[in-house]
C-alpha cells in the first residue's frame, strides 16, 4: 500500500500501470482491476491520485482497442488459427519502465510489453471471435511499432513436403536470374530476367501460389541434379515454402493432380504433405545416398570384361577436387566420397550404361572423365582411355532423414 501510494503521488497514473506494478498479486484479475482496487482502498485512506495522462505509459493502454482494430483490419481476408503480438517501444516508454522498476520496485510487476501484448491480443481475439495465441509457430505475427505509429504483419509460410521427378533435360531446379542482367531484364533474356524459361520450382509452384493467394514460393531440394540430368525413380525430396499465404487450408491431392496435369511431360510430384519449417533444414542437411544411371562414351572400343572390372575397381573412396565446371561458384577443395555399388551394361561400340550408387556429393561426370586428374581414381584413368558421360539421370535419392 505504501508503494502504491508513492506511485499515485508521483503523478497521474492509469489503472493498468498501477495494477501491473503488482501484477503477480491475486488470480483471475486484470491489471486494470488491480489498479482500480488499489485506488479505491487508497481513497478510503484519504490518498488520491492526480488527473491527467499516465506518466508511465503516456496513455498507451487507452489505445489498446485502436491497435487491435488496426491489427484486425490488417488480418482481413487472411486465413489463420493462431497469432502473436509484439511491440516496439519508444525510447521514452523504455526509460519510464526503467524508472518504474528502479524507483518503485515491488518485485511483483509485469513488464509493459508483456501486459500490452496480452491486452491487444485479447481485444483482437474478441473483435474477430477467432484465433488463439501461439508462442512457437503463430500463423500471424503482429509487431506494433510505436515509434513509427505502424503495425507490421508477418504471415507464417506454408511448408509442403513431396518428391519431384524431372522428366526432361535442360531445366534447372530453381529460378536462375539472367547472367547478363542479373534478373533485371535485358535483350538477352527477352526481358524475362531469367536464364532459363522454366524451372522445376516455377512449374511446381504455379498452382500453389494461386491456391494459397501468394506471390512468392521457394523450392528447397534435398540436393540438386545438373540442369542436363533428369530426376527419375521415386523422385527427389523437396519442401515448397509458400510465402505470406492468405489461404492455408489448401487441398494437396488436388494441387498434386494440377501440377501433374499442367507440367505433365516435364515435371511430376507425389506424396505431398504439410510439414513444419524444420523439415527444410532436415532434408537439405540429410546425408542422402544417390543412385545414378550414366550413359558413358569411350574413345575406343573396350572389351566388356575389362570395362566391368575397371568399373568395379572404382568402388571405394574417391578423392575429388572441386570440378572445373563448378569452380567459379564453389570453394576449391578436395573431398572424399565413397562409391558404393556399380553395375555395367554394354550398349554399343564404345558406349555403356552404368548404374552407380554413391554417397551424396560425389560428382559423377568427373568420376568418369577424371577432370584432368582432379578426380582420382576415375574410370578414364583406370582404363587409360578418355571417357565421358553423355547422359545422366538420378534414379534414387534416399536417406533416413526424409519424412517418407
Ligand atoms: Zn499507464
Ligand atoms: Zn537479362
366, 392 Cβ separation under 8 angstroms:
no
CA distance linking residue 386 with residue 378, whole number of Å: 10
3, 47 Cβ separation under 8 angstroms:
no
Q: How far away, in angstroms, is 171 Cα from ligand 2 center? A: 17
Q: How far away, in angstroms, is 179 Cα from ligand 2 center? A: 7
Q: How far away, in angstroms, is 4 Cα from ligand 1 center? A: 14
State the ligand closest to the CA atom of 57: 1
pLDDT tens track, the chain, 404 positions = 999 999 999 999 999 999 999 999 988 899 999 999 999 999 999 998 888 999 999 999 999 999 999 999 999 999 999 999 999 999 999 999 999 888 988 889 999 999 999 999 999 999 998 889 999 999 999 999 999 999 999 999 999 999 999 999 999 999 989 989 998 999 999 999 999 989 999 999 999 999 999 999 999 999 999 999 999 999 999 999 999 999 999 999 999 999 999 998 999 999 999 999 999 999 999 989 999 999 999 999 999 999 999 999 999 999 999 999 988 888 999 999 999 999 999 998 899 999 999 999 999 999 999 999 999 999 999 999 999 999 999 999 999 999 98
18, 39 Cβ separation under 8 angstroms:
yes
Query: Among residues 61, 57, 59, 63, which one has the least CA distance to residue 100?
Result: 57
Report pTM: 0.88
- Which residue in the block uniquely carries the three cell numbers 540430368? 229
Q: How far away, in angstroms, is 124 Cα from ligand 1 center? A: 20
Tell me the β-bridge partners of 152. Answer: 143
Q: Is 181 buried (19+), middle (13-18) or exposed (0-12) by CB count in 10 A?
A: middle
Give SS3 for 102: helix
Phi-psi region of 14 (alpha: psi -120 to 50; beta: other; left: phi over 0): beta
Q: How far away, in angstroms, is 197 Cα from ligand 2 center? A: 11
* DSSP code, position 62: G
| CA 344 vs CA 8, 301, 350, 361: distances in Å | 89, 15, 13, 21
State the ligand closest to the CA atom of 63: 1
Q: What are the φ and ψ backbone dihedral angles of 314, each rounded to 5 degrees?
A: -75, -20
By the CB criterion, residues less than 5 angstroms from ion ligand 2 are: 178, 180-181, 186, 188-189
Tell me, yes or no, if 226 is annotated catalytic.
yes
Residues 6 or more apart in contact with residue 230 via CB below 8 angstroms: 166, 167, 168, 169, 392, 393, 394
CA distance linking residue 227 with residue 98, whole number of Å: 59
Q: How far away, in angstroms, is 217 Cα from ligand 2 center? A: 21
How far apart, in Å, do the first and last CA atoms of the chain sit?
A: 62
Query: Among residues 265, 266, 206, which one has the least CA distance to residue 240?
Result: 206
Quick one: CA torsion of 351, 353, 358, 363, rounded to 10 degrees?
40
**Among the options 226, 228, 343, 376, which is catalytic?**
226
By the CB criterion, residues less than 5 angstroms from ion ligand 1 are: 14, 17, 54, 56-57
Q: How far away, in angstroms, is 201 Cα from ligand 2 center? A: 19
CA distance linking residue 175 with residue 198, whole number of Å: 7
pLDDT in tens, 191-250: 999 999 899 999 999 999 999 999 999 999 999 999 999 999 999 999 999 999 999 999
State the ligand closest to the CA atom of 179: 2
* DSSP code, position 194: B
- Can you read off the three cell numbers belonging to residue 299? 574413345
Amino acid at each position: 500500500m505504501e508503494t502504491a501510494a508513492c506511485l499515485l503521488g508521483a503523478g497521474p497514473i492509469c489503472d493498468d500501470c498501477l495494477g501491473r506494478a503488482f501484477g503477480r498479486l491475486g488470480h483471475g484479475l486484470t491489471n486494470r482491476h488491480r489498479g482500480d482496487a488499489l485506488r479505491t482502498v487508497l481513497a478510503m485512506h484519504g490518498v488520491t491520485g492526480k488527473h491527467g495522462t499516465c506518466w508511465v505509459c503516456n496513455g498507451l493502454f487507452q489505445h489498446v482497442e485502436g491497435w487491435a482494430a488496426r491489427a484486425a483490419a490488417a488480418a482481413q481476408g487472411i486465413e489463420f488459427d493462431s497469432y502473436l503480438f509484439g511491440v516496439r517501444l519508444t525510447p521514452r516508454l523504455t526509460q519510464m519502465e526503467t524508472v518504474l522498476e528502479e524507483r518503485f520496485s515491488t518485485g511483483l510487476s509485469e513488464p509493459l510489453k508483456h501486459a500490452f501484448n496480452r491486452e491487444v491480443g485479447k481485444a483482437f481475439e474478441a473483435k474477430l471471435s477467432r484465433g488463439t495465441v501461439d508462442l512457437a509457430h503463430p500463423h500471424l505475427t503482429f509487431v506494433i511499432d510505436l515509434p513509427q505509429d505502424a503495425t507490421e504483419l508477418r504471415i507464417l509460410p506454408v511448408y509442403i513436403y513431396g518428391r519431384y521427378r524431372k522428366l526432361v533435360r535442360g531445366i534447372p531446379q530453381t529460378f536462375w536470374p539472367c547472367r547478363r542482367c542479373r534478373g533485371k531484364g535485358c535483350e538477352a533474356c527477352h526481358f524475362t530476367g531469367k536464364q532459363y524459361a522454366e524451372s522445376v520450382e516455377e512449374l511446381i509452384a504455379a498452382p500453389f501460389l494461386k491456391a494459397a493467394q501468394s506471390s512468392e514460393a521457394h523450392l528447397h531440394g534435398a540436393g540438386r541434379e545438373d540442369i542436363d540430368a533428369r530426376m527419375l525413380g521415386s523422385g527427389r525430396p523437396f519442401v515448397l515454402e509458400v510465402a505470406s499465404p492468405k489461404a492455408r487450408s489448401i487441398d494437396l491431392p488436388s494441387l498434386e493432380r494440377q501440377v501433374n496435369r499442367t507440367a505433365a511431360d516435364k515435371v511430376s510430384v507425389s506424396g505431398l504433405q504439410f510439414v513444419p519449417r524444420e523439415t527444410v533444414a532436415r532434408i537439405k542437411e540429410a546425408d542422402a545416398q544417390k543412385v545414378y544411371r550414366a550413359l558413358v562414351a569411350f574413345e575406343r572400343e573396350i572389351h566388356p570384361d575389362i570395362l566391368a572390372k575397371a568399373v568395379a575397381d572404382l568402388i571405394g573412396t574417391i578423392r575429388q577436387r572441386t570440378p572445373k565446371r563448378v569452380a567459379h561458384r564453389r570453394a576449391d577443395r578436395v573431398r572424399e566420397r565413397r562409391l558404393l555399388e556399380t553395375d555395367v551394361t554394354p550398349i554399343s561400340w564404345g558406349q555403356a550404361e552404368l548404374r552407380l550408387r554413391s554417397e551424396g556429393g560425389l560428382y559423377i561426370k568427373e568420376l568418369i572423365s577424371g577432370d584432368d586428374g582432379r578426380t582420382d581414381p576415375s574410370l578414364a584413368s583406370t582404363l587409360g582411355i578418355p571417357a565421358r558421360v553423355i547422359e545422366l539421370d538420378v534414379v534414387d535419392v534416399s536417406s533416413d532423414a526424409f519424412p517418407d
